[in-house]
Structures are given as C-alpha cells and as structure tokens.
Amino acid sequence: MWSGQPHPDEGHLPPLEAVPVPWKSVGPCRSHRESPGGLAESPGGEEAQGEEGPAAAQLDVLRLRSSSMEIREKGSEFLKDELHKAQKELKLKDEECERLSKVREQLERELEELTASLFEEAHKMVREANMKQAASEKQLKEARGKIDMLQAEVTALKTLVLTSTPASPNRELHPQLLSPSKAGPRKGHLRHKSTSSTLCPAVCPTAGHTLTPDKEGKEVDTTLFAEFQAWRESPTLDKTCPFLERVYREDVGPCLDFTMQELSALVRAAVEDNTLTIEPVAAQTPPTVKVAAVECGSTKTCALSGLARACRHRIRLGDSESHYYISPSSRARITAVCNFFTYIRYIQQGLVRQEAEPMFWEITRLRKEMSLAKLGFFPQEA
C-alpha cells in the first residue's frame, strides 16, 4: 500500500537532523551522480562530524549559560536601577508629606490663634457693649431724674415764685391769704391798686410785722438796681459778680452762719448746688442716724445751733443717707436762702417774664426774708 510518508529506499535523502553534516564549504554541485570515489569518502566525513557534535553541543550550552547570566546580570542591574528610582521617588514623597504635614500643623496653629483672637475680640466687644449699655442706662436714669426735677421746679415756679400773676398761690408761703382764724388779727391790710400793679406783690408778713405797701415807703437804691440790671443782662450763679457778691456778703453768709461751723459750710454748699432736702419728722419716728448728738442733733436738739429745741424737720445733704434734725428757726433761715436761690435760678433759665423793676423788688423781698430769719424772726407755721 502506498503511504503518505516517503521511504528511505525510494531514493530520497534522509533529514538533516538525522545525518550530522560538518560545516564545510562545498563546491557547486555538478550533478546528482558522483563517482564511486566520492562515495567512498563519505564514511570518513561522517566519523569526523560525529566527533565534533558533543563539543558543539557543550559550546551551545555554555553560550546559553553565559547569555542567561548576562541576562540575569542585566536584569538585576535594571531592577536595581528601578529600585533606586523607586526609593528616590519614595524619599521625595516622604519629604513632600513631611513638608505638607508641617504646613498643616502651621495652618492649624494659625487657625487656633485666629480663633482665639476672634473670641477674645468678640468678648471684648461684648464687654464694651455692656459697659456702654450700662452707662447709657445710667445716663438715661439721671436724665429722667433731672427731667422730673425740672418738671417739679416748673410746677413750683408756677405755684410759688411767679407771684405777680399767681394762678394758685400757696397759702403757707403767703399767710395773708389764710383765713382770719389761722392768720390771726391783722392791722389794715389795704393796698392801692396802682402800686400793686407796678411793684412786687405784697410782702409775706411775719408775726408782729404787718407793714403794707401803701404805708411802707419804698425807694429804689440806684447802686443796687444798677448791679441787678448788669447781672440781669447775663444772669449767672458766679458769686464773684458784684450783684451776687453783695448778696452773699450781706444776706446769704450771715443767714447760714450757724454755731456748728463745719455743718454750716456743708449746708451752704448743698444750698448753692441745689442738693439740700428738708423733710418733716413724724412725732413717733425715732432718729435713724446713730451719731453724736452735737453733730446730727436729735428731735430735741438742733444740729446747727446746738440748742435744745423741738425739731420737727430734718435735712439731708445730697445723696447722703445721714439726716440732721433742725429747729424751726434754723429751717426758716435755710428756707429763706433756698427761696432766693430758686428765684435767681428761674431768672437765669428765662422762666420769669417780668420787667426789671418787679424782679428787683421780688429779690429785695427775698433778701428781707433772709434778714428777718437771720435776726430770729420766723413764721409760727414753720
């Protein structure tokens, strides 16, 4: 049978791998048929090729080993280079991470400092706002107190001071308006209408002094009136001006000159500052200030004169909680001075709408009251 593989006996050459052929140069092939001599030489050539085969194979193995070693060396060098590169990159990344961590720590510190400064500034602003609010509330309270005081003074002005046109005169300050049973018998209390319309209203009579304008001669002192007019052009409470300097010297000073000099000076300063308060004392109320009797007095001793008198009033100086009990005579002297200062304050504030002469006679009447109180005359109602 025929098979697909050629048989060696059919004239085909065996494969090259089966027959080792030495590497030699062969000349050009002349023909497929050679001489028998040529065929006889072939067995010798095969023996030579068989001897050189193991050496060539060993050489090939050596070459392969050397090439594999070279490849390993080159691979190891390449891997070392890559490792060095990776280490360098890792080191750079570590340095970058360290730098970034330092930046982060610095930013965190700055953020904490900024937060602390902001909180401190906020607390400072809150404290300042609270202080300003407290100051504003205090000023508002003081302003309201001043407003109430001014309103009370205006009311008192309408009812007590502007006696030239009184809407509702105070009967305690004007005993001539009291009923006959309370005022007592008075002598002829007649006034001429012409004089009462141009001059100051009737003088408050005291016990035993019932002089009336029509029977009492009046004449304006030109020196005093000139000093008053000069003061009226620019009213002031400065005691160095000629008008007030004369009143202080002749009336205010002697009227407030009590036996207790130290307390007298305090009372005079409180009257000038308009901070003195006079309060009535109930009969059953005991003294509330536990101090020496000579300094503050008691309900039976006047703190200003030091005399044993029945004290139905007490005074308080400014915002002090101490009270000083005074006799009716001392109260009359203090009240006379206070009335004078109240009237000139109203003139300074522009609340008195009168001509110069009626204002001058009203001030003269107030000076007369200070003089009488200084001499010991005071109303029994005090």
Instruction: For 278, list phi and psi in degrees, rounded to 5.
Output: -115, 125
d(CA 181, CA 93) in angstroms, rounded, equals 116
pLDDT of residue 215: 54
Structure tokens at 353: 């709408």
Pick the closest to residue 214 from 228, 193, 229, 232 (CA basis): 193
C-alpha 101/C-alpha 91 separation (Å) is 15
- Per residue of the chain (382 residues), give pLDDT as tens: 444 444 444 444 444 444 444 444 444 444 444 444 444 444 445 555 555 677 878 888 888 888 888 888 888 888 989 999 999 999 999 999 999 999 999 999 999 999 999 999 999 999 999 999 999 998 998 888 888 778 877 777 766 654 444 444 445 544 444 444 444 443 333 333 333 333 333 333 333 333 344 456 788 889 999 999 999 999 999 989 999 999 999 999 999 999 999 999 999 999 999 999 998 887 544 444 444 333 465 678 999 988 988 898 999 998 888 889 999 999 999 999 999 999 999 998 888 888 889 999 999 999 999 999 999 888 875 4
The 3-class secondary structure across 370-381, one letter per residue, is HHHHHCCCCCCC
The answer to whether residues 312 and 328 touch, using CB atoms and an 8 Å cutoff, is yes
* Type of residue numbered 310: A
Rounded-to-integer distance, Cα 371 and Cα 332, Å: 11
pTM summary value: 0.45
> Do 205 and 377 touch, CB atoms closer than 8 A?
no
Q: Residue-wise over 305-340: b if at least 16 C-beta within 10 A, else e?
A: bbeebebbbbbbbeeeeebbbbbbbbbbbbbbbebb
Query: What does the radius of gyration of the chain's CA atoms come to, in whole angstroms?
Result: 66
**How far is residue 206's CA from residue 329's CA, in Å, rounded to a whole number?**
13
334/342 Cα distance (integer angstroms) = 12
What residues are paired with 298 via a beta bridge? 301
Q: What is the C-alpha separation between 364 and 366, in angstroms, rounded?
A: 5
Tokens found for residue 307: 């005399």
Closest-CA residue to 203 (of 339, 313, 347)? 339
Q: What is the pLDDT of residue 53?
A: 72
pLDDT attached to residue 296: 60
